[in-house]
Amino acid sequence: MPPRAICGRCHTRMDERVTVSNRGTVNCFVVSPPVKKGEYNVLGMDPVEMGMAEEGEVLIPVYVQFDGSYSNVATTLENVDPKDVYIGMRVQAVWKEETEGALSDLEAVEPIKD
């Protein structure tokens, strides 16, 4: 997991990378209205234009704290009914088919299925 540039508590530079779990906890979320091209952005991008969503789809942007990390990662939550999402929900990473070792390999998160 890439570190934050500066520690939020002591304001020192952070360079160390650590291996964290692919499971984490939802700390914040928003349920979007049905998306329309040019009218809604997710993480600064138009999801329809970027091919991330179909017109009319509901998206759930989330902040996730992966186990072993103190930072939150912004991504989207998939494979869940929006009515079932809650703060503290346990989720797992959904990775690209071919990873490159970059944070962009994380496509989304989904609820952990027991």
Question: Angle CA(39)–CA(42)–CA(46) in degrees, nearest 5?
Answer: 45
Whether 84 shows a pLDDT value over 90: the answer reads yes
- 63 vs 72: CA distance, rounded Å: 6
The predicted model scores a pTM of 0.79
pLDDT the model gives residue 18: 76
Over range 29-35, report the average pLDDT: 91
Lowest mean pLDDT among 1-10, 11-20, 99-108: 1-10
Strands in the chain per DSSP E: 23-29, 61-66, 73-76, 90-95, 106-111
For residue 8 the two structure tokens come to 């939020």
Residue 41: pLDDT above 80?
no
Tell me what the mean pLDDT of segment 84-95 comes to: 97
User: For residues 13 and 5, what is the distance between their CA atoms, to the nearest angstrom?
Assistant: 6
Q: Give the bridge partners for 23, in sequence order.
A: 92
